[in-house]
Structures are given as C-alpha cells and as structure tokens.
Amino acid sequence: MLETRGWPGGYALLDSGNGRKLERWGALTLVRPETQALWTPTLTKGEWAAIDAVFDATLEDDEHGRWRVNAPERQSWTVPFDALTFECRFTSFRHVGLFPEQAPHWIWMEERIRARRAAGAPFRLLNLFGYTGAASLIAAAAGAEVCHVDASKKAIEWARANQAASKLEHRPVRWICDDATKFAEREARRANRYDGIILDPPKFGRGPNNEKWELFDRLPALLATCGGLLSDRASFLILTAYAVRLSYLSLYELMRDATRGRGGAIAAGELIIREQAGGRFLSTSLYARWAGADLLT
C-alpha cells in the first residue's frame, strides 16, 4: 500500500462515508461521490454542510454530473504541492484536475531523478496520458527533460497553465497532443529511449482522431512497447490503473513481461488515502512500478 495523508496547504481527505468524501483542496472544501466509502461518516452533518461545492452525480454513474458551487463566479482556484502551483477547476466530471493519491509516485520519482542529475547524468522522462501535467512538472522541476503526451487539447492547455503558474516555462517540456499508443509505437520505430516512463491510462477514452482506447484490450501491448522504450540506464516504469475489475497482481505480471531481462525489482499494490477524521483508508487505484537495479538501495 502506498499511502498519502495529503500535504499542508494543499490537499486533505477530511472524512468519508455513505458513498461520499469530504475533502480540502487548497482554500476550498468539496464533497464528491465515492462508491468505496461504504462506512458511516465520522464528522457531523453540520461539518459536512460547511462546504464550498458539491458534485451531484447522474443516476447512470458517479463520474458525470454537475457541480453546485456556493460562489458560482469562482470556477477555478490553485492548490500548491511543494514549490509548485496547480490550477483546479470545476469540470463536468467529478475530478478537478489533480489526483492526490499519486503523491507517493511523485515523491519517489522526484528522488530518483534528482539522484541521477546530482551524479551529472541527464534524465529523459515520457509521461503518457499526462492529463494536466502534475507528474510532468514535478519531474521537470527535478531536472528531467520531459515529453508529455495526452489526447486532449484542453488537458494540454491546462497543463501549460500549470507550467506558467509554477514558473517552469524555462524547463524543457514537450507538450504533445496525440494518441498514446500511436506515439509510443512511433518512438519505438525512431529508436528513441527514455530513462523513466509513466502511464496513467483511463478505463475508456478517445484519441485526438477518435482512436478508441479500452484498457483491458490495449494496455498489454502498450506496456510492452514502453518496456522497449526504456534506455539501458533506465530508472523506472510506473503504471497506475483505476479499473476496478483488475487485480494489482495482474498489473504485476504485465510489468514482469514488459521488463523481462532488465533486472531491478517490481512493486505492486494499491494507492490509498488516509482520512483525518476517522483514520480510515480509502483505496483509489492499483499500481505497478519497476525500479532499475541502480535504485534498489
């Protein structure tokens, strides 16, 4: 289990239960659906009512719906992470542009990039399904040369806004709007190699030219391609999946296939967030990550 408790001034899971979660995002407090929160909340109804916005899901699923915002003119705000600044927004989905459960990956990745850079070696990172750029910008701030790929032009524009808010315009980040699978396959044909690769694929999605993505059908081939894109001195390959039908053992075996013959070590499990009120753990996603042999100590 990789746990985050949030971070000061940025994010905190305040409470959860009855299919919802109460969160602090920077200066705002939000309520969002959470199907895995089957238990009873710890805080009072009054504490749950003292919020800035709540997401009302549709009857069909908890991803789509609409926000009810106390101050409708406020549709975006900022959330810090270390020295960086990320913009959060109320979207037509329940997400606001940042996934705090990824913080253990960010910290782990950052430490390894800084260690490589301190030794005087360059570091090339590929971030597929990069979304609004949190991992890309954390890696860039640590000294990596980053290639960020996402199929959504809006997500890339959002990521560029985060780059500006974090004052990282001078850092080498390539923002590419493309289908992740097609881009990775082209990189393999061009014999381009990376020292670290991150994948955070959705369960379902569409590329910029309406390419269809289904995780269970497409992930094995893409992960195998990414294994071939790792350089001889590669440090890591990180995969996160939010598909509930998967087991982390399935991701572990996929990662073993993708990195066979490279040595190193593979860890797999769940990303979890600890709430403040009751100390309970909320599982958010599954992960598998490979670390090169030079990073095992």
> 159-206 pLDDT, tens per residue?
999 999 999 999 999 999 999 999 999 999 999 999 999 999 988 777
pTM: 0.94
Q: State the amino acid at position 121 in one-letter form.
A: A
Contact 183, 128 (CB under 8 A): yes
Tell me the mean pLDDT in the region 230-258. 92
Burial label, 38 (beta-carbon count in 10 A; 0-12, 13-18, 19+): exposed
In this structure, whether the domain defined by 2-89 belongs to CATH 1.10.3720.10 is answered with: no
Are both 2-89 and 100-295 of the same fold? no
Across 276-283, average pLDDT: 94
CA angle 93, 94, 97 (to 5 degrees): 85
| Domain definitions of the chain by residue range | 2-89, 100-295
The CATH number of 100-295 is which of 3.40.50.150, 3.10.129.10, 3.40.50.10800, 3.30.70.20?
3.40.50.150
